Amino acid sequence: MRGRAPRRKATAFSTTPFARPRYSRRMTVFLQINGTAIVDIPSLYAEINRVFMAGEAWQLGPSLDGLDDLLYGGYGALAGHETATLVWRDIDRSREALGLEATRAWLEDKLRQPGTFNAETIGRQLDALQRGEGQTYFDIVMDIFAGHPNIALLPA
């Protein structure tokens, strides 16, 4: 009787039929934002929550700081992933929805909350918008995404 060769342990690189590849939890996650769902600032956060917070017991509120924190990862769809690719469908519609009018309304709403925000800074932001030089809410959101090089944003 011939002796059997010892069975090799299956590894990610093993060619034996019983081997299963081991996938890293660090693989890139692919996500997609539906830009047609974004008609104003609250709907932006509803879409962000749909894409990034599915399966979480809590939701992101309408906060640019909160969005920035979310993009660092650690929870939601980014948890366990070092990189992400985000396809933003119909981004031009989102740019329009989060443009001048939405930004002006957002800043004016801040002015109606005395003591909470710096009225002088907001006044300068409103003046810059009026001159066509200020950032829109959409521009700010794009800057936040740009601050996270681990997330590749692909406009579509």
Please say if the pLDDT value at position 19 is more than 70: no
- Cross-strand pairs, 155: 88
Residue type, 43: S
Q: Kindly list the domain boundaries of the chain, sorted by start residue.
A: 29-97+137-155, 100-135
Residue type, 46: A
Taking all residues of the chain, what is their mean pLDDT, rounded to a whole number? Answer: 88
Cα angle, residue 123 at apex, residues 121 and 126 outer, rounded to 5°: 115
| pLDDT tens readout for residues 111-138 | 999 889 999 999 999 999 999 999 999 9
Between 64-71 and 41-52, two packed helices, what is the crossing angle to 10 degrees? 20
Please say if the pLDDT value at position 61 is more than 50: yes
Structure tokens at 55: 């399966």
3-state secondary structure of 29: strand
Instruction: Characterize the bridge pairing of strands 151-155 and 29-34.
Output: unpaired
Structure tokens at 1: 């009787």
CB 34 within 8 A of CB 88: no
Burial of 70: CB neighbours in 10 Å, binned 0-12, 13-18, 19+: buried
CATH of domain 29-97+137-155: 3.30.370.10
pLDDT at 5: 52
pLDDT at 154: 97
CB 136 within 8 A of CB 100: yes
Please say if the pLDDT value at position 73 is more than 60: yes
Structure tokens at 18: 């019983």
Sheet holding 29-34, edge to edge: 29-34, 84-89, 151-155
Please say if the pLDDT value at position 18 is more than 90: no
